[in-house]
């Protein structure tokens, strides 16, 4: 198992974490594990292409005219 150390943890946030852990009947360490697991399991990481598309979507642009997927790839033509 890995160990994680968090430096500069805000006192107010620490208090809120402690109270939330108590409400859930867990230690603060178990509460942090539960929060991280919930966050990381609920949203699978976006694939690189999806992240690039999302970043540049606001710029607009035309859709590419791509060949149907049932066509075999062609070698590049250099003139």
Per-residue pLDDT for the chain (79 aa), expressed as one digit of tens each?
889 899 999 999 999 999 999 999 999 999 999 999 988 887 777 788 888 888 888 777 667 777 777 878 888 999 8
The pair phi, psi for residue 61, each rounded to 5°, is 115, 160
| Domain-embedded: residue 49 | no
* Number of domains forming the structure of the chain: 1
Cα distance between residue 8 and residue 21, in whole Å: 20
| Domain-embedded: residue 70 | no
* Long-range CB contacts for residues 67-75, cutoff 8 Å, separation at least 24: none
Containing structural domain, residue 18: 10-44
Confidence (pTM): 0.53
Cβ atoms of 31 and 20 closer than 8 Å: yes
- Which pLDDT value is given to residue 14? 95
């Amino acid at each position: 198992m890995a160990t994680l150390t968090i430096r500069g943890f805000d006192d107010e946030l620490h208090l809120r974490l402690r109270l939330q852990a108590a409400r859930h009947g867990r230690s603060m360490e178990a509460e942090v594990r539960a929060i991280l697991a919930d966050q990381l399991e609920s949203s699978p990481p976006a694939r690189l292409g999806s992240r690039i598309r999302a970043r540049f979507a606001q710029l607009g642009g035309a859709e590419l005219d791509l060949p149907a997927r049932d066509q075999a790839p062609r070698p590049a033509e250099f003139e």
